[in-house]
Amino acid sequence: MIIINSSKGQDFSPAPCPLPSTRPIFWAQAEELVTLLRQYDLVSLRALMDVSQSLAERTMAQFHGFAADGGKPALLAYDGEAYRSLGAAEFSADDLHAAQQRLRILSGLYGLLRPLDLIQPHRLEMGYAVRNEHGKHLYAFWRKRITDELNRQLAREPHPLLINLASHEYAKAVDKNRLRAPWIDIQFKEEGAGKLKIMAVHAKRARGMMAAFLIRQRIDRPEGITAFTGGGYGFRPDLSTNRQLVFTRPAA
């Protein structure tokens, strides 16, 4: 199982999809959050999200226009750096089917999404301090639910394994101590002047390329991950452990 995070960038223009769409597992909980967020006035929403007036107005309109039907498959709707590198629009029907089985998207609004789950336009990052009945932030709302659902899905696998391609902010929504499967972090670093650095934008693109590689090649063992060479990255066994695989490339 691969986890990545959702994206603020979204594209809801029509796009063909050769497979039928699905309904988010936590649709009822997403509606619960929307109902809660509709109570925010514009000033409170701006303070919560630290965004401009126009973006807060657009986000508020999205919450008030949130609908139970329609939308676009998540893997085709998200349009950030990682998703552009992932290139799901070029996937075959078999690739999309494999993604539906193996890829999960962490979302502040929807919790845990499958690639073909229909989503509505939204903005709600996992790190936001949205007070709810479970606590002071979205982690309190989602962590147990997401972890339990991942455990349920991983239990069906003959060799359960979770590959983390999500950002730190989103990966914290999974309780690693309660996860009943090995967890492998992936790091992408740039090498220059004798130093290794994580460059955020390049790491996002590399996560998307890695996700596409794992899906298209149907990788199902840890050793298969190390064959990834996308974007000029190469596996560094000298920097890696059983729980963290490091890939580097020369700095641009």
For 125-163, how does the pLDDT look when each residue is reduced to its tens digit (9 = 90+)?
999 999 999 999 999 999 999 999 999 999 999 889 999
Percent of the chain with pLDDT over 70: 100
Number of structural domains, the chain?
Answer: 1
Q: Is the pLDDT of residue 193 over 90?
A: no
Distances (CA, A) of 163 to 55, 166, 198: 33, 9, 18
Report pLDDT digits (tens) over 10-28. 999 999 999 999 999 999 9
What does the alpha-carbon distance between residue 233 and residue 246 come to, in Å, rounded to a whole number?
A: 10
pLDDT, position 83: 98
The DSSP bridge partners found for residue 117 are 22
The average confidence (pLDDT) of the chain is 96
Higher-confidence residue of 41 and 68: namely: 41
DSSP label at residue 118:
E
DSSP letter for 161, please.
Answer: -
Task: Identify the burial level of 51 via C-beta atoms within 10 angstroms of its C-beta, where 0-12 means exposed, 13-18 middle and 19 or more buried.
Answer: middle
H or E stretch covering 143: helix 138-154
Angstrom distance (rounded) from CA 248 to CA 235: 7
Q: Which domain holds residue 223?
A: 2-250
Whole-number pLDDT of residue 148: 98
- Asked whether residue 202 carries a pLDDT value surpassing 90, the answer given is yes
Question: CA dist 34 to 22, 40, 67, 93, 140, Å?
Answer: 20, 10, 10, 32, 16
